[in-house]
Structure 1
Amino acid sequence: MIDELRATAFERLPDYLMSIPDPARPEAAASPTHTPGDIGRTPLERLCDTLDAMFEACSTFPEPSHSTFFARTMRLALAEAAADPALLAPAQREGSADTYRRHLLFADPRGRYAIAALVWQPGQASPVHAHHTWCGYTVVDGKLSETIFEWDDAQQCASALRVEARNRGAVSFVRSGRGAIHRLGNCSNAPALSLHIYGVEGARIGTHVNDIVRGADAAELV
């Protein structure tokens, strides 16, 4: 039954998305491919079209983000959007000297998701956090460092497991909960930019996404 639902879902996605290589494979860096119907649509509009189609395709699932189809297609959609140099306007690439800066790009009128660009100056980092909702991101420009944590329920804190370099084109998707705790930061000497999609209303992006937790080794992390 699940296989049948997944097959139906893929049939209802935009044709151009189905031509995008999987980011897990080396050929994922190839140029985006669009159908004639996409002419005149901005990269952000195409991304929203894809997200809307994903939700429609997963309408039979109790929680769309729990399906493998949703996670895989979200990664493909992020990779497609990040590969287009016309995705962001110059003003949406502006950072802040104080902390990383978030630019809200689009808020779904139905409250299912919000899309934001995050600009990281050298040395800026997020707090250690899990997520109250599902979240997908990709690195658009520059290089980020992601520290992965494990939650210790007895100590009520998170312990660092490893640090991964997230170069341009890297894509990630996690579901809600403390099974996925991380910290993103810019360890390089140049600005970095990432694109994020959260499963919340746009007005709640600053309050209902990050579940900030105590990190046992937070002082030593970037």
Structure 2
Amino acid sequence: MRLEHVSRLARPSSSALAASPAADCAALRNPALERLCREIDAAFATAEADSRASFGERVRLALQRAIADPGLLRPDQRVSDPRNYCRHLLAADPLNRYAIAALVWEPGQASPVHGHRTWCGYAVIDGALEETLYRWDAVAHRAIETRRHPRAPGAVSYVDAGRGAIHQLGNPADAAARAVSLHVYGVAGEQIATHVNDLLAA
């Protein structure tokens, strides 16, 4: 299957992450990224053929293998922005089943508190992130913080859609360096900034 490889820089806006094209690298061939796409394709095929197979576990393993490859990201895909965290779109499935992005976080940058409109997984490549987990309070109509976890390089996570996995992810303000993470979302590439996060009040 032919993969559409692109690199885009996106910055958070007041309501979502709005895509802002920085470069089009459709001809790029990256073995590590192509292997990741093949493994996600295989996870879909297995899920269709055998409902007992764990799609999420296959995505987690694919992310774990991908971040172990030093050739996964080019230098321009590690570029940050001093104002907001950045999202670089790396690959978009031609069947619109998923998109892969690298997120770059300077110290003190964090996502908004959010649930997910789709399945998604992430892995920490460089630096360390902090993940704050929440539960949804339907009476108060807001997310309630439950615990915080440091996410060191190599940490991998996968969640299904819904408000059962509300979180905030970010690079602590006292961190010594920027952090880079790899994310896979179950949306088409052009929807990565608008159809992933379910922004919630906390």
Which of the five TM-score ranges fits, normalised by the shorter chain? 0.7 to 0.9
Q: Give me the TM-score of the superposition, normalised by structure 2.
A: 0.82
Name the SS for the 1:162 alignment partner.
strand
Name the SS for the 1:58 alignment partner.
helix
Match of residue 36 from structure 1: none
Name the SS for the 2:112 alignment partner.
coil
Name the structure, 1 or 2, with higher relative contact order (CA <8 Å, separation 6+).
Answer: 2
Match of residue 166 from structure 1: 151
Contact kept, 8 Å, 2:105 with 2:178, in 1: the verdict is yes
- Give runs of aligned pairs for residues 65-104 of structure 1, distance below 5 A: 69-104=54-89
Q: Aligned-pair distance for 1:68?
A: 5.6
Q: Give me the TM-score of the superposition, normalised by structure 1.
A: 0.75
Deviations 1:102-154 (A, max 9, x none): 00000000000000000000100000000000010000000000000010000
Is the aligned partner of 1:109 residue 2:94? yes
Match of residue 134 from structure 2: 149
How well do the aligned residues superpose, as a CA RMSD in angstroms? 1.4
Q: Percent identity at matched positions?
A: 54
Name the SS for the 1:195 alignment partner.
strand
One-letter code of the match for 2:36? L
Match of residue 120 from structure 2: 135
Contact kept, 8 Å, 2:90 with 2:102, in 1: the verdict is yes
Consecutive unaligned residues of structure 2, counting only runs of 5 or more, are 1-28
Name the SS for the 1:164 alignment partner.
strand
Name the SS for the 1:48 alignment partner.
helix
Match of residue 183 from structure 2: 196
For 1:164 and 1:212, the matched residues in 2 are separated by 20
Distance 1:104 1:198, change over 3 A: same
Deviations 1:21-52 (A, max 9, x none): xxxxxxxxxxxxxxxxxxx9610010011111
Is the aligned partner of 1:59 residue 2:48? yes
For 2:137 and 2:187, the matched residues in 1 are separated by 27
Name the SS for the 1:206 alignment partner.
coil
